[in-house]
Structure 1
Amino acid sequence: MDISVIVPLYNEEESLPELYAWIERVMKAHNYSFEVIFVNDGSTDTSWEVIQRLSKESENVKGIKFRRNYGKSPALYCGFKEAKGKVVITMDADLQDSPDEIPELYKMVTEDGYDLVSGYKQKRYDPLSKTIPTKLFNATARKISGIKNLHDFNCGLKAYRSEVVKNIEVYGEMHRYIPYLAKNAGFDKIGEKVVHHQARKYGTSKFGLNRFFNGYLDLITLWFLSNFGKKPMHVFGFLGTIMFLIGFISAFILGADKLWCLAHGIQQRLVTDSPYFYISLTMMMIGTQLFLTGFVGDLISRSSSARNDYQIEEEIRCEN
């Protein structure tokens, strides 16, 4: 099969027939073999009934229905598991992503050699309250991930080689950082294509401003896991050791100063009367806690079933 199109959705009953008809028209015009996987993320409208009807009308339609609303990342995860195409396309169900982009995205993966191609909505039909935070968010994501050529990490329209979606795990709200997940898994041929962004035709957006705050927290989590997930002692142990040494040296200087004053008959207040003594003590305790945190984290990491989970692209074996 050439292409699997995965469409996560929540309460999009009006747009689904039009979206599928558009996808089908594009696929037939280019003679692609395809499947469309609609993942119904706990919709409360008649979206599932629409998907059932479409599946009866076309053998290319598949559907997954969640019992409740879990979020976009779980929807993509289940869609990725079911995808059979050698190229996987993801797009939103609100008709803001154009299926006319599919042929070029497919070509960039199959002919140009990209592992992942992300859409870039250069001209957006969104209010400033959404576009300005999006620009700040993407600038931060580029800096932390090191993927300098992407301008829109969260664009729903993306294309992947099948191997990519089968070797990454999308969880929580990590759908925003699929390019970063792919890079960490060893798929570093990541490209971008300017795509047409259309104004929403039906309904309203399902995402609020809280996604930007949550997005930054997820980015920090992903950065830490990608850099120190298998070696937490390297960060917590290092920080703990530095803080403990600073606190210990400070306490030692206070004690030495007190002994020197006593030896020379100089009146000096009690060490415990100095605020620096308590600051030093606090730093030593925090340093010890950080060190123990790194030690426990290292023990957990070493006992994890994924401790030796490495991405192997190919092997050469000798035949006996």
Structure 2
Amino acid sequence: MDISVVIPLLNEEESLQELYDWIAKVMQSNHFLYEVIFIDDGSTDTSWKVIQDLVEKSKEVKAIRFQRNYGKSQALDAGFSEAKGDVVITMDADLQDNPDEIPELYNLIIKENFDLISGWKKKRYDNVLTKNIPSKLYNWAARKTSGLQLNDFNCGLKAYKNEVVKAIKVSGEMHRYIPILAKNEGYSKIGEKVVKHQARKYGVTKFGVDRFINGLLDLITISFLSKFGKRPMHFFGLWGSLMFLFGFTTAFYIGLIKLYRVYAKIKTILVTDNPWFYIALTSMVLGTLLFLSGFLGELIIKSNPLQKHYKIKEKINL
């Protein structure tokens, strides 16, 4: 199979038929063998009914329905696990991503051997204050922390080699930083393509103000995981050892001063009256806890299998 199109969605009943017809037209005109996988992330409208109707009309349509709303990352992860195409294309269901971009994205993966191509919505039709400015800020921060020179990490329109989507684990709200996840797994040939962005035709955006805070926290998390996710002892063990060493050295010095004063018969205060005693004690306790955290992190990584943080209610054609 040439292409798998993975489409996560939440309450997009008005756009699904039009979106699929557009995708089918592009695929057929380019003679692609394809599948379209819709992942209904707990919609409360008639989105699932529309998808069922599409399945009855076309064997290329496949569908996953979540038990409840888990988030876009979980929906993408479920779609990636089922995708069979040589090239996997992701796009949003709101008609803001243009299916006419698919052939060129496919060629960049197959003919130019890119591992991942990320879309860049250079000209956007979103609200400047609520989307454009925060997006530019997060993209700048992501470039600085990851080393990937992409202008639009969060664009929903992306193309991947099949092996890339099978290698990465998308959880939490990490869909914003999938190129970084791919880079962490050793896929270094990552490119970018300017894609056409369209104004939302139906409904309203499903992302609220909390996406700004979540985006920042996710970036901090993925930056940490990029460096220490597979070797937590290198972070916690290092800082734990330094803190313990500082505390032990301070306590040892306090002890020497106490012994000297006793030997020299110099009037002295109790060790417990010295504030540095408590600083040393606290440092040793914190250092021990940090070291143990790193040790436990190593054990968890070695023994804990990958778990899916979502529950699938129903599948069609899969």
Alignment TM-score, normalising by the size of structure 2: 0.89
Output the CA distance in 2 between the equivalents of 1:305 and 1:66: 22
Question: What amino acid does structure 2 have at the position aligned with 1:204?
Answer: V
How far the C-alpha of 1:159 sits from its partner, in A, is 0.4
Output the CA distance in 2 between the equivalents of 1:232 and 1:57: 51
Go from structure 1 to structure 2 and tell me whether the alpha carbon gap of 1:38 and 1:298 turns closer, same or farther (over 3 Å shift): closer
Output the CA distance in 2 between the equivalents of 1:289 and 1:81: 38
The aligned residue for residue 142 of structure 1 is 143
Output the CA distance in 1 between the equivalents of 2:302 and 2:8: 36
Output the CA distance in 2 between the equivalents of 1:305 and 1:158: 28
Larger mean Cα displacement after TM superposition, 7-16 or 33-42:
33-42
The aligned residue for residue 86 of structure 1 is 86
Question: What amino acid does structure 1 have at the position aligned with 2:139?
Answer: N
Larger mean Cα displacement after TM superposition, 165-174 or 276-285:
165-174
**Structure 2 stretches lacking a partner, 5+ long:** 307-318
The aligned residue for residue 301 of structure 1 is 301
Output the CA distance in 2 between the equivalents of 1:17 and 1:300: 45
Output the CA distance in 2 between the equivalents of 1:301 and 1:9: 32
Output the CA distance in 2 between the equivalents of 1:83 and 1:190: 20
The number of residue pairs the alignment matches comes to: 305
Alignment TM-score, normalising by the size of structure 1: 0.89
Output the CA distance in 2 between the equivalents of 1:38 and 1:64: 6
Output the CA distance in 2 between the equivalents of 1:290 and 1:55: 53
Q: Secondary structure at the match of 1:186?
A: coil
Q: Secondary structure at the match of 1:112?
A: coil
Deviations 1:146-190 (A, max 9, x none): 21x211111100001111112222222221221112112221111
How far the C-alpha of 1:304 sits from its partner, in A, is 4.3
Output the CA distance in 1 between the equivalents of 2:105 and 2:81: 21
Higher relative contact order by CA 8 Å / sep ≥ 6: 1 or 2? 2
Alignment of 1:230-241 (within 5 A): 230-241=230-241
Output the CA distance in 1 between the equivalents of 2:305 and 2:203: 44
Output the CA distance in 1 between the equivalents of 2:87 and 2:276: 62
Deviations 1:116-147 (A, max 9, x none): 00011112222212222212212222222221
Alignment of 1:56-71 (within 5 A): 56-71=56-71
Output the CA distance in 2 between the equivalents of 1:46 and 1:208: 22
Q: In angstroms, what is the RMSD of aligned CA positions?
A: 1.8
Larger mean Cα displacement after TM superposition, 167-176 or 35-44:
167-176
Output the CA distance in 1 between the equivalents of 2:305 and 2:4: 31
Go from structure 1 to structure 2 and tell me whether the alpha carbon gap of 1:295 and 1:56 turns closer, same or farther (over 3 Å shift): closer
Go from structure 1 to structure 2 and tell me whether the alpha carbon gap of 1:15 and 1:219 turns closer, same or farther (over 3 Å shift): same
Larger mean Cα displacement after TM superposition, 40-49 or 56-65:
56-65
Alignment of 1:254-269 (within 5 A): 254-269=254-269
Larger mean Cα displacement after TM superposition, 271-280 or 214-223:
214-223
The aligned residue for residue 285 of structure 1 is 285
Deviations 1:63-109 (A, max 9, x none): 22222111111211221122221111100001111111111111111
Output the CA distance in 2 between the equivalents of 1:302 and 1:4: 33
Alignment of 1:106-117 (within 5 A): 106-117=106-117
The aligned residue for residue 253 of structure 2 is 253
Output the CA distance in 2 between the equivalents of 1:57 and 1:230: 46
Output the CA distance in 2 between the equivalents of 1:180 and 1:224: 12
Deviations 1:182-218 (A, max 9, x none): 1122211110011111111111110112123223333
Question: What amino acid does structure 2 have at the position aligned with 1:13?
Answer: E
The aligned residue for residue 218 of structure 2 is 218
